[in-house]
Amino acid sequence: MLSFLKIRNLALVEDVTWELAAGLVGVTGETGAGKSIIVGALKLILGERADRSLIRNGQDACTVEASFHLKDTRAIDAVLEEAGLEPCQDGELLIKRTISTSGANRQFVNCSPVTIQVLKSLGEFLVDLHGPHDHQSLHSRERQLEMLDKFTGIEELLGKYQDAWKQWRAVVTELDELENSERASSQQIDMLKFQANEIAVANLKAGEEEEIESRHRIAANGARLAELCGAITSRLSEGEGSVIDGLREISRSLHELEKIDPGTAAMFEGFKSAQIELTELESSVADYAGDLEIDPAELDKLEGRIHTIQTLKRKYGRSIAEILEFLAETERKLAKMENRGEEIAKLQKLVKEREVEVMKLGKQISKKRADSAPKLAKEVASHLIDLGFKRSVFEAQLANLPSPEKCGLEEVDFHFAPNPGEPSKPLRLTASSGEMSRVLLAVKSALAKQDAVPLLVFDEIDANVGGNIAEAVGRKMAALGATHQVIAITHFPQVASLARSHFVVTKEITGNTTRSQIQEVSADERIEELARMLGGSAASAREHAKSLLKGAAK
């Protein structure tokens, strides 16, 4: 369950820490007091889009923290593991989100930074939130099918079917592309052959471009290299005043110095090494110059090779490696097109094999859905009776699809007749908004045992119903509170009186500052809040409030 919700600087809330209990939690308060902020804070925790206009006036950021205590953390741990996070410890999950005016928003799970997508993934397993218009989800056949499948308990089987369906559709798509978009025309084959031949004739080698450019640089600058070598050897060893002749004179002087003072020998070891190295340098440069060949034909050949490589790069890739990859892909396409008949036959066989598996799993799902649809309808109908529809009709009608789809071999359409004597029609065409809210609650009640989401939030879904019906709605929420934590934000005292714990949202105005607070009420304070909601004279309203609490305790 949600054990606490801490909100700072969100809309009218300055700083609120809300500690919650299990079961049905009622939230009431006057219109405009700030009850909707609770829903807004939960939506931020669930990863919904942040609106910076919600940041409290005069503040730079708002923060929402939520702590969940979970009995079964397997689904949550799987999401955390995929995000590279540690699993929950002792069933505790802490989520924090900060929204700032500068746009530097941050979110954390168990004190580790995460992406918004991680919050959304976690939210699917934590909170099921229903607002005044969320009953419209019942209009969707896709959503209706999800509800039936949850009631049927075929998640694992449906997962196997969807994997098989994806594999089947992938092969169907490949076959269609081969038969249509990649139909082998003579022009296409000729183009592919030309491209493959142009690359193959060049006989490219991986890494040769660098080698050729180096050789070309030397060949193109042969005269300058020879000139530089000549200048070096001339300065080192040719003519009067050459470096090596000068070193010989210095060497003779050093020998004479050493004879006179043997102690100076160690000072000149470096000179001897330098003389040897410079002599070897002169020899190496002379050998290098002797090997230089200025061959115009070789230069033309290298330039031609560079031109060929550059031409291929402009057409087929930014490097020789990419050109060779293009060649391999072209040869694969060519082989596929030239052997199109064999490839089509192979794919046609694979399509049939995978379609057989899809139909096998699909028929298993169809049977389970067909068995469960009337059971779900009967279960929902029984809850509808409790909610004031004494003689309504509810049906879950299945209809076969023309071909296998991701959802299976059929779709479902909920039909409803709120009054006796009327034919049942699609729910989206028959129910008013008040009726749809009750139908949603009936479906939720029917799915209570299968629904693993621990927290259900109903934000004024009891709108547009009468007082007697509101009490029935409250009792149904209270019944859901036996297996889930349920937060009911309501204007009806009949609903609030049935809550295990009751919180009131109030608005305080001090000078030019407005603050919303939330506090738990019990005993006389709870009677006063219910009396306020009932209206009428103070004495009669309090007596009515007491009778509601007394009736709720039965």
The 8 Å CB, 24+ separation contacts for 524-533 are 526/502, 529/28, 529/496, 529/502, 529/504, 530/493, 530/496, 530/497, 532/30, 533/28, 533/491, 533/492, 533/493, 533/496
- Tens of pLDDT, residue by residue over 118-129, are 998 898 888 888
pLDDT at 473 over 80: yes
175 assigned to some structural domain = no
Lowest mean pLDDT among 190-199, 217-226, 366-375: 217-226
Give the tokens for residue 242: 């050459």
Please tell me the least confidently modeled range out of 279-288, 409-418, 518-527, 540-549: 279-288
High-pLDDT (> 70) share of the chain, %:
93
3-class secondary-structure state, position 50: coil
Taking 80 as the threshold, does the pLDDT of residue 46 lie above it? yes
Assess whether pLDDT exceeds 80 at residue 45. yes
DSSP 371: H
The domain boundary, picked from 338, 366, 398, lies at 338
Same domain (yes/no): 192, 327: yes
Q: Which of 383-392, 399-408, 430-439 has the lowest mean pLDDT?
A: 430-439
Backbone angles phi, psi at 67, to 5 degrees: -115, 125
Structural domain of 526: 522-554
pLDDT of residue 351: 95
pLDDT band at residue 66 using 50, 70 and 90 as cut-offs? very high
- Give all strands (DSSP E) within 314-407, no chain letters: 393-405
Based on the fold, state whether residues 86 and 24 are members of the same structural domain. yes
Last residue of a domain, one of 299, 320, 338: 338
Task: Flag whether 401 is in a domain.
Answer: no
Reference 398, options 359, 423, 370, 426; nearest CA is 370
For the cut 60, the answer to whether the pLDDT of residue 328 exceeds it is: yes
| Residue 441 pLDDT class (50, 70, 90 cuts) | confident
Assess whether 96 and 235 both reside in one domain: no
Check pLDDT > 60 for residue 135.
Answer: no
Distance CA 333, CA 193 (A): 10
- CB burial readout 380-399, b (16+ within 10 A) else e: bbebbebbbbeebbbbbebe
Per-residue pLDDT for 226 more than 80? Answer: no
In this structure, are 515 and 528 located in the same domain? no
Determine, yes or no, domain membership for 245: yes
Number of neighbours of residue 259 by Cβ within 10 angstroms: 9
Give the pLDDT confidence score for residue 136 in this predicted structure: 58
pLDDT tens profile 150-194: 899 998 999 999 999 999 999 999 888 877 755 556 678 888 889
**Confidence check: pLDDT of 267 > 80:** no
527 and 509 within one domain: no
In a domain, 386, yes or no: no
Q: For the chain, what is the domain count?
A: 3
Predicted pLDDT at 262: 80
Whole-angstrom distance, CA of residue 162 vs CA of residue 157: 9
328 shares a domain with 202? yes
Helix (H) or strand (E) holding 207: none
Look at 73-77, 229-233, 348-352, 418-422 and tell me which has the smallest mean pLDDT: 229-233
Residue keyed to tokens 């910076």: 52
| Same domain? 473 vs 549 | no
- In the three-class reduction of DSSP (H, G, I as helix; E, B as strand; rest coil), residue 463 is classed as coil
547 and 510 housed in the same domain: no
